[in-house]
Amino acid sequence: MEDIILQNISKDFGTFRAVDEVNLTIKSGELFSFLGPSGCGKTTLLRMIAGFETPSEGSIYLGNKDISDLPPYKREVNTIFQNYSLFPHMTLFDNVAFGLKVKKRPKTEIKDRVQEMLKLVKMEDQAAKYPDQISGGQKQRIAIARALINKPRVLLLDEPLAALDLKLRQHMLIELMDIHDAVGITFIYVTHDQGEAMSISDRLAVMNQGKVVQEGPPDDIYERPSSIFSAYFIGETNLITGDVHKVYDDYLELHCPDGTGNILALDSSFHKPVAEQSRITLSLRPEKIAISRHKPRHQDDINIIKGQIEDILYLGSHTQYIVRVGNLKFRVFSQHKRVYFDDKALDWEEDVWLFWHDTDTWLIEDNPFEVLADAELDDSGNLKRYVKRSKI
Amino acid sequence: MPQSREALQEKRKNLSSWLLSLPTMIWLVCFFLVPYLIVVFYSFLTPDIYDVKFEVSLDAYRQIFTSGYLQPFFLSFKLAIYTVLICLLLGFPVAYYMARASEKLKNTLLILIIIPFWTNLIIRIFSWRIFLSYSGVLNEALMGLGLISQPLEIMRTNLAVILVMVYVYLPYMILPLYSVLEKLDFTLLNAAMDLGANEVKAFFRVTLPLAVEGIFAGTLLVFIPALGAYLIPQLVGNQRSLYVGQVITYKVKNIPRNWPMASALSLTLLLMVAILLLIMYAIYRRHLARRHY
């Protein structure tokens, strides 16, 4: 069953198009995220669902009812605001009771329901306090209770964890998932944090410049990015671009633009056939690359490339190596597992082999608004063009 | 000994703050407390044609509560209450609009509100006289438009007094309201509407309670001067309905003078304001206590 259908939604602010022809269907009970850099239109989209903005074009359906022109107070949708927006002049009890009080429900019902909600968010013993007497995480919980007491069909969450510190954020993320399981309604979650979106969502929509770039379950988007933008926005990746030299039965040769004239032999088991002489872009996630000072014997010279370690970033759970291959840079994540007892740590300037599994490269399809030739990388391998345009 | 050092520091701090407030204290004692004590002293004396006889008497106070002196008090209170209410009703939307305006517009509007203060009050009141008078701008315009056939008699009525009072005191209401509304987090209104409150309910349950401090401050700033208003009733009002401020002035100005009566009236007014302030302060304190600030 569908809960929210966004049909051809656009929103213009003057000449600026904040949301551009978005079509999305969010299923009932789903935890769906809008993920994108700031200014990508995700919050505007959420505000249109809540009723604080009206779409310039298109319609929003809740179930099978067109709610595009309803004021916020007539929609069966409630919102958790970014800074919680708790009423400072009311106790936590009154904050949670607000929705029922406005609807003039009987006092006993209000009391019972508020208690029930406070219990759900584990705040039942703090009801008499005021919002400025509790911590950020507790405010968050009250905001959830206040929104859920109205029994909305859909709960909208606008960057709900942005104001919390890292540990608390992880904790609240799990709590949010528990609450989602407990109440069973649709959650729409807006965030710019790909980690949050990936861990919490059933499905997510990656947005950029007002458009939905890609939509799907987190693993799908991570493993099979449809565009350079999604490949870079979710996680980190290495892009290999080159002209296909020759296609054989099970592998192809790629002229690598690394300045050395190298020809890279790659497994060609892509999800789409590639033609000779065409230019292709492959995404190769840093954690999928193995790094070694010894050339592996079983690799048949396919999916292997030689480089030199330029930088080593120790990150605790793993180390990031930056390996220079000609004028290309590869990022490689390596966990601190030792296979042999006499393994010596890799060092700066050391020559290493990078190799990967045949299904680890992903062919990025052409995308109407991402011409590869424009995508410049800066020194550390970040995508410069997007850094400039949308402040990732 | 750390404790004695702390004590010494505390002592020094007290001394310096005492020294710093000394000039103000002297000023207040000389020009505020002493004159008031003289007023208190005079209110218990006996009037003479030009001056006072130094014979103790309670006549002044007795007269306030027995003869027609309660009428001016009643009128003054009525005027002050009307002025406050009208200023509040007119000022709130203005302050609200200003608070939500863009930064640039905000500053422009603020300056527009402050500009009238650059012109002397008496000049502004006289402009109103010209505007409201029998053959003044307002009447000429209305007759010219054919809306009325005979000039309206607004000048020298209580209506004129209220009009000009509201005109003069409106900024004192707008500015404190603006300062609280400017700090108001307008996403709270979104939250209220999201939770099912329509615009009216959101206003009464969120905006208004959060603007209470501004309403208190604005009310005080308008009510107290309005209660003792002299200049405006004198210049645009009539002599049939006198306000307390006028009565006090006449007692000092007109021969035979009655210093004790003027003093007693002043003190009674002061006492009423003080009691009112205390009540408002108590309400305000309770409001704050409820919010645990």
Listed residues A199, A228, A257: the one ending a domain:
A228
Q: How confident is the model at residue A389 (pLDDT cuts 50, 70, 90)?
A: very low
Say whether both A163 and A242 belong to one domain.
no
Say whether both A196 and A278 belong to one domain.
no
pLDDT tens, A223-240?
Answer: 998 888 888 888 888 888
Local structure of A199: helix, strand or coil: helix
Q: How confident is the model at residue B249 (pLDDT cuts 50, 70, 90)?
A: very high
Contact yes or no for B194 and A79 at CB 8 A: yes
Q: Which long-range contacts (CB under 8 A, 24 or more apart) does A251-260 make?
A: A251/A302, A254/A280, A256/A325, A256/A326, A256/A328, A257/A328, A258/A325, A258/A326, A258/A327, A258/A328, A259/A326, A259/A327, A259/A328, A260/A325, A260/A326
How much of chain B exceeds pLDDT 90, in percent? Answer: 72
How much of chain B exceeds pLDDT 70, in percent? Answer: 98
Element (H, E) at B52: strand B52-53
Say whether both A222 and A306 belong to one domain.
no
pLDDT for B78: 95
ipTM confidence score? 0.80
Q: How confident is the model at residue B229 (pLDDT cuts 50, 70, 90)?
A: very high
Name the closest residue on chain A to residue B186, using Cα atoms.
A85
Element (H, E) at B53: strand B52-53
Among A49, A73, A132, pick the best mutation site for testing chain B contact (most B Cβ within 10 A). Answer: A73
Say whether both A188 and A167 belong to one domain.
yes
Residue whose token pair is 């969010």: A26
**Domain boundaries along the sequence of chain B:** 1-42, 69-257
**What residues of chain B lie within 8 A of the CB of A50, using their CB?**
190, 194
Residue B49, class by beta-carbon neighbours within 10 Å (0-12 exposed, 13-18 middle, 19+ buried)?
exposed
**What residues of chain A lie within 8 A of the CB of B190, using their CB?**
50, 52, 72, 79, 81, 85
**Among A223, A214, A236, CA closest to A36:** A214
Contact yes or no for B195 and A132 at CB 8 A: no
Domain coverage including residue A299: 229-390
pLDDT for A384: 44
pLDDT tens, A261-290?
Answer: 667 777 777 777 788 888 888 888 999 999
Name the closest residue on chain A to residue B289, using Cα atoms.
A89
Contact yes or no for B210 and A89 at CB 8 A: yes
Please give the sequence-ordered ranges of beta strands (E in DSSP) within chain A, or none if there are none.
2-13, 16-27, 31-35, 57-62, 65-66, 77-80, 154-158, 186-191, 203-208, 211-216, 238-247, 251-255, 263-267, 279-284, 290-292, 304-314, 318-325, 328-335, 351-355, 361-363
pLDDT tens, B24-39?
Answer: 999 999 999 999 999 9
- Residue pair A323/A390 in contact (Cβ under 8 Å)? The answer is no
> Taking 50 as the threshold, does the pLDDT of residue A30 lie above it?
yes
pLDDT for A358: 79
Whole-number Å distance between alpha carbons of A176 and A197: 12
Tell me the average pLDDT of chain A. Answer: 86
CATH of the domain at A343: 2.40.50.140
Count of C-beta atoms within a 10 Å radius of residue B126: 13
Listed residues A179, A209, A228: the one ending a domain:
A228
Size of interface A-B (CB pairs under 8 A): 67
Q: How far is CA A7 from CA A22, A23, A216, A332, B211, in A?
A: 7, 5, 17, 41, 41
Whole-number Å distance between alpha carbons of B220 and B222: 5
Say whether both A53 and A163 belong to one domain.
yes
Q: How confident is the model at residue A379 (pLDDT cuts 50, 70, 90)?
A: very low
Local structure of A46: helix, strand or coil: helix
Q: How far is CA B175 from CA B125, B172, B209, B222, in A?
A: 21, 6, 18, 11
Q: How confident is the model at residue B293 (pLDDT cuts 50, 70, 90)?
A: very low
Q: Which of A73, A85, A86 sits opposite B198 (nearest CB)?
A: A73
Say whether both A61 and A158 belong to one domain.
yes
pLDDT for A387: 34
Listed by number, the residues of chain B in 42-101 with a beta carbon closer than 8 Å to a beta carbon of chain A are none
Say whether both A39 and A74 belong to one domain.
yes
pLDDT tens, B72-84?
Answer: 999 999 999 999 9
Residue A276, class by beta-carbon neighbours within 10 Å (0-12 exposed, 13-18 middle, 19+ buried)?
exposed
Say whether both A270 and A139 belong to one domain.
no
Question: What is the model's pTM?
Answer: 0.81
CATH for the stretch B69-257: 1.10.3720.10
Q: How confident is the model at residue A260 (pLDDT cuts 50, 70, 90)?
A: low
pLDDT for B90: 97
B35 touches chain A (CB under 8 A): no
Say whether both A236 and A211 belong to one domain.
no
**Mind telling me how many Å the CA of A21 is from chain B's nearest CA?**
25
Say whether both A265 and A279 belong to one domain.
yes
**Half-sphere CA count of B119, side-chain side, radius 13 A:** 11
Listed residues A202, A228, A254: the one ending a domain:
A228
pLDDT for A261: 65
Which whole number is the average pLDDT over A308-324? 91
CATH of the domain at A222: 3.40.50.300
Say whether both A173 and A296 belong to one domain.
no
Say whether both A97 and A10 belong to one domain.
yes
Contact yes or no for A79 and B196 at CB 8 A: no
pLDDT for A279: 81
The number of distinct structural domains making up chain A is: 2
**Mind telling me how many Å the CA of A69 is from chain B's nearest CA?**
14
pLDDT tens, B105-150?
Answer: 999 999 999 998 899 999 999 999 999 998 889 999 999 998 888 8
Name the closest residue on chain B to residue A87, using Cα atoms.
B188
What DSSP assignment string belongs to A235-269? S--EEEEEEEEEE-SSEEEEE-SSSS--EEEEE--
> Taking 60 as the threshold, does the pLDDT of residue A312 lie above it?
yes
B205 touches chain A (CB under 8 A): yes
pLDDT tens, A90-117?
Answer: 999 999 999 999 999 999 999 999 999 9
Q: Which of A159-173, A288-302, B175-189 has the lowest mean pLDDT?
A: A288-302
**Among A386, A359, A378, CA closest to A228:** A386
Q: Which of A71, A89, A99 sits opposite B195 (nearest CB)?
A: A99
**Among A49, A17, A55, A20, CA closest to A32:** A49
What DSSP assignment string belongs to A168-188? HHHHHHHHHHHHHHHH--EEE
pLDDT for B190: 94
pLDDT tens, A51-71?
Answer: 999 999 999 999 989 999 999
Name the closest residue on chain A to residue B288, using Cα atoms.
A89
